């Protein structure tokens, strides 16, 4: 008797990390589905790029208005999938996206319009040059779970206003938030195939990397980023890679301990420490070390840990068990090597499977994993230093270089030291919030990645530059064309002297030798 064979369809599950509740299951997009989405994007992109820039800006304006109106709904969706407090969903995601839209609405025309290119060389004065900013075509975006709305939305808006189509592969843990972004853009008037979400895990992401996209923007781990960079290099696919950080915080001997300790606690524990810009290494001048630790411990113990939907919650759950185990292993390694656990250091199982107590570690060293590897959890490791030079050396002793902060009452001192710290962004007397400054570029050095997001430089990542040169004397043969000969060589030597010799006399002699070059016979 014949039997029907059922083929299992790969799915991903969206789960509330605070409660374990299954929010929704979604079917994964396979290689064929991803390729089809990219093909539809290519078909739609040309018409999108050819409409007036003002109309693309108008779509962003409508998107911004809708997001402002639906902010509470979007925040709850973010919190349901990530566990972060609703307040953080508002301030670090929705507000960031609203301001990113504001920046693009105000600046897109100025930054994307054709630019005149002046010519300094005398021989090219009869030419006019223009620089064009043209869209790549289809931009593929692979985004992470920790900021499932802010990261893909800010990148998507820049790509769209520049005339690209976008295919987004969100984290398998936060697919529903990406679908909220898709709904907002569609309701704002964006043509359907100009922005598409393909849901799935690693296989879906790999399919997008190997598809016929024209540029890739990836945010994730160093290990995955390196594999993606290798795959992109095979066909010279341009890529922007934001690969995380191990951000240092330097508290100098003249810092305000109360203010700096509050910053350290917030910078280490917001979003349960699952932020690429988190304070993951804290270096404090020895004269302030004990008082700083005391303040951090007191403030850490005052934090309310719980469900992000509870308005009193300061710190929510971690995203899943696997990430929590990484945090546990880092704390256990540090403790075994002599670090002191002053607060936290354990799971909060009474709250749920994914909760870990905000943890303060003292007497850490660079031999510990907690100071070398990205922890991505609610841990604040604190180490003492004696001199500014030592602090900078410790900050730079890392494979990462995303961002850093320096704490001092002396602004000039802080800005001077900032020049020596190896990072894409340095904040003096603040942490993390540089990501929310739409005008400021976001990206790192060393293993923290390549390229930039946000602001002018983020928008420039979404366009190809094309130089167009037009000669104003089309009927004239150019003096540098064939018909060389000995006299032409002497004339051109004179021309070089006329332009670049150091003395006025040499320049005048050069001009006399070059005078005949315009009248010479050319082929």
Tokens of 292: 């700083």
For CA atoms 256, 85, 306, 250, the dihedral sign is negative
Helix (H) or strand (E) holding 133, with range, is strand 127-135
- Per DSSP, 306 falls in state S
Catalytic residue of the set 276, 282, 296, 434: 276
Residue 425: strand pairing partners: 403
Tokens of 13: 């599950």
Find, among 74, 219, 215, the residue nearest to 135 by Cα: 215
Measure the CA–CA gap between 55 and 61, rounded to whole angstroms.
10
Residue 242 annotated in active site: yes
- Torsion-angle region of 409 (φ positive above 0: left; ψ -120 to 50: alpha; else: beta): alpha
Catalytic residue of the set 93, 180, 242, 461: 242
* Strands lying side by side in the sheet with 449-450: 195-197, 165-169, 138-142, 215-219, 239-242, 449-450
How many Cα atoms occupy the beta-carbon half-sphere of 371 within 13 Å?
Answer: 24
- Alpha helical stretches, state H, 162-307: 175-187, 202-209, 222-234, 257-269, 289-301
Measure the CA–CA gap between 59 and 41, rounded to whole angstroms.
17
Chain centroid, CA 445 distance in Å: 12
Tokens of 389: 């030079």
Find, among 56, 245, 78, the residue nearest to 146 by Cα: 78
How far apart, in Å, are the Cα atoms of 258 and each of 102, 118, 291, 293? Answer: 34, 53, 9, 11
Residue 31 annotated in active site: no
480 three-state secondary structure? coil
Measure the CA–CA gap between 168 and 190, rounded to whole angstroms.
15
Strand 11-15 relative to strand 165-169: parallel, antiparallel, unpaired? unpaired
The CA-based dihedral angle spanning residues 103, 105, 107, 112, taken in that order and rounded to the nearest 10 degrees: 130
Measure the CA–CA gap between 203 and 30, rounded to whole angstroms.
7
Active-site amino acid positions: 242, 276
């Amino acid at each position: 008797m014949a039997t029907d064979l059922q083929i299992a369809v790969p799915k991903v599950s969206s789960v509330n990390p605070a409660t374990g509740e299954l929010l929704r299951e979604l079917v994964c997009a396979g290689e064929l589905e991803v390729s089809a989405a990219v093909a539809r994007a290519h078909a739609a992109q040309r018409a999108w790029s050819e409409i007036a820039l003002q109309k693309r800006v108008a779509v962003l304006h409508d998107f911004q208005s809708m997001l402002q109106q639906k902010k509470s709904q979007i925040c709850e969706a973010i919190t349901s999938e990530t566990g972060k407090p609703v307040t953080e969903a508002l301030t670090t995601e929705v507000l960031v996206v609203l301001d990113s839209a504001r920046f693009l609405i105000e600046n897109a025309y100025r930054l994307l319009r054709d630019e005149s290119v002046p010519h300094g060389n005398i021989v090219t004065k009869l030419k006019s040059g223009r620089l064009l900013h043209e869209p790549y075509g289809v931009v593929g975006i692979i985004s992470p779970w920790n900021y499932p709305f802010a990261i893909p939305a800010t990148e998507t808006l820049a790509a769209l206003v520049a005339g690209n189509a976008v295919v987004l592969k969100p984290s398998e843990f936060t697919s529903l938030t990406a679908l909220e972004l898709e709904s907002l853009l569609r309701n704002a008037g964006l043509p359907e195939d100009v922005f598409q979400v393909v849901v799935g895990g690693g296989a879906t992401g790999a399919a997008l990397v190997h598809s016929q996209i024209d540029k890739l923007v990836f945010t994730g781990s160093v290990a995955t980023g390196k594999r993606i960079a290798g795959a992109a290099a095979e066909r010279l696919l341009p890529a922007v890679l934001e690969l995380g950080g191990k951000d240092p915080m330097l508290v100098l001997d003249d810092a305000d301990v109360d203010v700096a300790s509050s910053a350290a606690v917030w910078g280490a524990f917001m979003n349960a420490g699952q932020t690429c810009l988190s304070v993951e290494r804290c270096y404090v001048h020895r004269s302030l070390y004990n008082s700083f630790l005391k303040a951090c411990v007191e403030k850490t113990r005052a934090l309310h840990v719980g469900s992000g939907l509870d308005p009193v919650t300061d710190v929510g759950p971690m995203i899943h068990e696997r990430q929590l185990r990484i945090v546990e292993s880092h704390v256990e390694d540090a403790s075994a090597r002599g670090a002191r656990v002053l607060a936290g250091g354990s799971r909060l199982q009474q709250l749920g499977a994914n909760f870990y107590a905000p943890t303060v570690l003292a007497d850490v060293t660079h031999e510990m994993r907690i100071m070398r590897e990205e922890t991505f959890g609610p841990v604040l490791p604190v180490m003492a230093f004696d001199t500014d030079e030592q602090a900078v050396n410790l900050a730079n002793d890392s494979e990462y270089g995303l961002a850093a902060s320096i704490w001092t009452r002396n602004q000039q001192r802080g800005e001077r030291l900032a020049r020596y710290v190896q990072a894409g962004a340095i904040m003096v007397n603040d942490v993390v919030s540089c990501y929310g400054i739409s005008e400021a570029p976001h990206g790192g050095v060393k293993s923290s990645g390549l390229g930039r997001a946000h602001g002018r430089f983020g928008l420039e990542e979404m366009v190809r530059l094309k130089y167009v040169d037009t000669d104003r004397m089309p009927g004239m043969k150019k003096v540098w064309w064939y018909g060389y000969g000995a006299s032409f060589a002497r004339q051109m030597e004179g021309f070089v002297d006329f332009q670049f010799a150091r003395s006025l006399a040499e320049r005048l002699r050069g001009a006399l030798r070059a005078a005949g070059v315009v009248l010479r016979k050319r082929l």
